[in-house]
Structures are given as structure tokens and as C-alpha cells.
Structure 1
Amino acid sequence: MVQVVIESTALTSGAVPPNGLYFSVDGVASHVASSGGTGLDAEVRERVLDAAGAMRLVERIAESARSVLVGYANERRRLVRVTVACRDGMRQSVAVAEAVGQYLRTGGVDVEVDHRVLVGS
């Protein structure tokens, strides 16, 4: 049973953050923002996650989700939603969302990762 849903998306001015945890990672690896490809591409993902502080941010997002998950009293209704956003929703947020998902899976959490912007591309 899925316990955590992570969604990558683009920052939209005036947008109301969705329910759940919301993290803006815009600027984590700004040198990657204008490059081609997406955060699903190994080269792009590596460049994002090698940026200073990126893996520490991945760990903090994952541990925030885990803390909320553990805090639920009713195990049958546990679902934590995490949104990770960057300027275009294609590189930084995608790479970080995938890394957070992998981090949580390694700890035994059932995770689903979706990429709102990439769905139509």
C-alpha cells in the first residue's frame, strides 16, 4: 500500500501549494535549470544531486515525510503527500523527487513518484 506520494511540479506565481508537504528546490542546482533533458536523465540527475547541499536537502525532505507518516495514529489511513517544485518542473524538482523516493524506499516506505510537468511531454 502506497504510504507516500511525491509529485514534482513547476513553480507557478500565485499558485496555492497543495495539501501536504511543499518544498521549493529552485536554485539548488541553478546551473542545470537551462540545460536540456529532464531530471529523469542520468546526466541531468547527477548534475542536480552533485550540487552543494542537494543530498542534504533530499534527506531532510525524506525525513520530514517519514516524520509525518510515523505521526499518524490510524495506520489504515496513512498517506503523506509531498510536492517538490522548481522553476520549470523538469530538472531540479524531478531529480530531487526521484532521489527522495529512492531514499524512502531504502527505508522500507512504499512510495509513488509522479511528475506533473513531464506527464504531457
Structure 2
Amino acid sequence: MGRMNQNHRAIMGRMSQNHTARMGRMNQNHTARMGRMNQNHTARMGRMIQDHTARMGRMIQNHTARMGRMIQNYRARMGRMSQNYRARMGRMSQNHRARMGRMNQNYRARMGRMAQSHRTGIGRMS
């Protein structure tokens, strides 16, 4: 039993040394690999981000250019429309005023007659 304990300890001792040595090596490899991966990954991400921003920039430039053209067209069209609109409204307002004028004259004449008859009526009653 005494001997086995010594052997057993020796084996465990040896194994633990090997095991830690192996783990140590693995850790070094593993971290080295991770480091490389991180470098690649970040480099790729960087490229992707550059491409993406470049593309977005182009898209935004195109978009604003198009929007500018669209706005110019819109203004031009609106301008034409407003000219027509003003011309039409002008014509209408002249007619409208003329009609209203006639109506007002009629209205005043009628009201005047009514007011006179109304007043005389009240006067007689009292």
C-alpha cells in the first residue's frame, strides 16, 4: 500500500504536469488564433463599413439630386398652376363682385321699402 501511494502520487504528479503543459500550449494557440480571427474580422468589418457608408453616400447624393429635380419640376408645375388659378380667380372675382353689387342694390332697395312700411305700421298702431 505504501508503495502504491508513492507510485500513484508520482503518476498523478506527472499527469498534472503534462496536462497543465498541454493546456498551456492550447491556450497559447487558442488565443493566437482568436487574435488572428479578431484582426481579420475587424478588418473585414471595417471594409464592410467603408463600402456601406460609400454606398449610402452615393445613394444619398443620388436621392438629393433626384429630390432637387423633383422639387424644381414641382415648383415649375405649381407656378404654372398658380398663374392659371390667379387668372381664373381674377375673372371670377370680377363677375362675383358685379353680381354682389347688383344683389346689394336690390337688397338695400327692398330693405328700405320694408323699413318704411314697418315704421309706418307701428306708428299707426300707436
Instruction: Flag whether TM exceeds 0.5 (same fold).
Output: no
TM-score range, shorter chain: under 0.3
Structure whose residues are more often strand by fraction: 1
TM-score by length of 2: 0.20
Q: Larger Rg: 1 or 2?
A: 2
If the length of structure 1 is used for normalisation, what is the TM-score?
0.20
